[in-house]
Structure 1
Amino acid sequence: MVKGFLFDVYGTVCDWHKPMTEAIESYAASKGITVDAPEFARQWRATYALETARRGSSHQPFIPLATLTLEALKVLANVRLSMELTDEEAERLNGVWRQLGPWPDTVEGLSALRLIAPCATCSNGSYADMAPLAEYLGIEWDAILGSEASGFYKPHPQTYLRSVEALEIKPSECVMVAAHQKDLVHARSHGLLTAFIKRPDEFGGRGMGEELEPTSDWDFVVSSLLELAESAQMSV
C-alpha cells in the first residue's frame, strides 16, 4: 500500500539542461566567446554528480550542493573557456539551479500524486535550493527531505531511510520516483518501492545520456507523473 512518495528532482521533476544551456549561451554572448553550451551544461552536471556520488559512497558529511555546483562551474570555465569567472559571474550562473523548468506533466502530475499520499523531495539539493526551485516551478512539496535532512548525499543508505522515517511510514509503503535507475537500485536495496519515469529529453537530445528503457522490474514504469498517479491510485 502506497503511503508516500519520494522524488529525485533534477531531471525527474524538472528540466535542468535547457535552462542551463540558455544561461551559458547568454553569458558567452555577453563575453563575445564561443562555447558548446549544451555540452558545457552536460559536463557541469556530470562533474558535480561525480562528487556527490563519491561523498555519498564514502560516507562523507553533507555540504551544500550549491558549493559543489559552484566549484564544478569554476573548474569547467577554466578548462573549457580558458577563463576565470569573477565571483559575481559564477554566483549568477550558479543561480540557474534554482530557476529550472518544469516538464509538461510536472505541475498537474505532482498535484494529482499529492491527493494520493504525501510527496517529498529526496534530492541532493539542500533546502536553500529546493524551496526557491519549487516556487519557480509552481509546485508544492509536503516536505523537503533528502541529503541535507539526512546529513549525507545519495547513495548513502541514510539519505533514503531517514527520508522515509520523516514521513512516518515504512520503506515498503514509500515509492522512490526517479528518471535515473541507479537511484532506484539503491532505494530498492533499502526496501522502498520504485517508480521509473522516462525523461527522453533530459540531456538535451537522444543518445546524450537519457534512460529510455527499464533495466529492472521496477514497481512502476511510466512516462509522466500523471500516469504514475493513475497507476498508484490502484495501490492505495
Structure 2
Amino acid sequence: MGIDPTNPTGIKAFVFDVFGTVVDWRSGVAREAQPFLNRHAPDLDVSEFVDAWRREYSPAMEEVRSGRRPYVRLDVLHRENLVKVLAHFGIAGACEPEIDELNLAWHRLDPWPDAVDALHRLKRRFIIAPLSNGNIRLMVDIAKRGGLPWDAVLGAEVVRAYKPSPRVYSETAEILAIAPRELCLVAAHNNDLAAARRVGLSTAFVRRPTEHGPHQTSDLKADEAWDFVVDDLHELATQLGCAR
C-alpha cells in the first residue's frame, strides 16, 4: 500500500499523557486542598503540600513496576501517598471521609486552555485516547468534567502496568490493532517519550513549562529529536493538517 497523501505521517492514533500534558494537575489539586488545609493546617503553604504529595507518585508506582507489589490502581496509591504526606506535615485531625474526599481532587482537574478544542480538531482525523497512569474511573471523571472528547480510555489499568514499562506502550498499539509506528504518544515529559520510542511508537513533545509551578526546571525543552515538538496542542493539530 502506498502512502496516504492526506496523512503522510502514517499515524492512525494519538494517545496522550494526561497529568501535566492535558490537564493542569498542580493548580487543580491546590484548589481542592486549600479548604482542607484551612481546617487542619492553616499555616502550611498549599503548594508545598501539593508538591510533597506529587513527589510520592513515582516511588509508589516503582513498587509495582519492580514487581515488589502487585498492580493496584492509582487511586489507591494516591490515597496511601496522601496519608504519608499528612503524617509528614503532622496533620492528624482529619477524619477518614475527609481524606477520601481530598483524594478525589485528582478526579476534578481542569484541562490546559488549549486542550479541549485541539483534541476536537485531532479527533476528526485520528483516534485519540489517554495513555495515563491514572485508572479508568479517574480518566472518565476528568474527561466528563473538562469535556475531553476521547474515543477510548486506555492506559495503566487496561494493561495493569505503569509507564514507563514497555508493555504499556506496546500493548496499547495491539489493543488498537495498529503497528507501534502508527501510534503517537503526546507528552510533556521526555522520559515518557523515550520509553515509547524504544518500543517503536511515534512521539510528540508538547511544552508545559509551568506544570510544576513557576520555578520548574525539568522538561522545559525537547531532549531528543521527537517526531513533533510543539508549544501547545493546537500547534500539533495544525502540523497534522487538522482544520479549526
User: The TM-score by the shorter chain falls in which range?
Assistant: over 0.9
Which of structures 1 and 2 has the larger relative contact order (alpha carbons within 8 angstroms, sep 6+)? 1
Structure 1 residue 127, shift from structure 2 partner: 0.8
DSSP-derived class of the 2:154 partner: strand
Residue 149 (str. 1) matches residue 167 (str. 2): no
Structure 1 residue 31, shift from structure 2 partner: 3.1
After superposition, the CA RMSD in angstroms is: 1.6
- For structure 2, the 5+ residue unaligned runs are 1-9
Residue 223 (str. 1) matches residue 222 (str. 2): no
Aligned partner letter, 1:68: L
Residue 167 (str. 1) matches residue 176 (str. 2): yes
Among 104, 119, 122, the residue aligned to 1:113: 122
Match of 1:76 in 2: 85
Q: Residue 176 of structure 1 contacts residue 194 of structure 1 at CA under 8 Å; is this kept in 2?
A: yes
DSSP-derived class of the 1:14 partner: coil
Structure 1 residue 32, shift from structure 2 partner: 5.6
Aligned partner letter, 2:61: T
Aligned partner letter, 1:175: C
Q: Aligned equivalents of 2:130 and 2:61: distance in 1?
A: 16
Deviating more after overlay: 92-101 vs 49-58 = 49-58
Match of 2:13 in 1: 4
Match of 2:137 in 1: 128
Residue 53 (str. 1) matches residue 62 (str. 2): yes
Size of the aligned set, in residue pairs, is 233
Match of 2:5 in 1: none
Aligned partner letter, 2:224: S
Residue 138 (str. 1) matches residue 128 (str. 2): no
DSSP-derived class of the 1:143 partner: coil
Match of 1:212 in 2: 220
Aligned partner letter, 1:227: E
* CA 1:22–1:220: 2 relative to 1, 3 Å: same
DSSP-derived class of the 1:134 partner: helix
Amino-acid identity (%): 36
Q: Residue 56 of structure 1 contacts residue 156 of structure 1 at CA under 8 Å; is this kept in 2?
A: yes
Aligned partner letter, 1:218: W
DSSP-derived class of the 2:32 partner: helix
Q: Aligned equivalents of 1:13 and 1:53: distance in 2?
A: 23
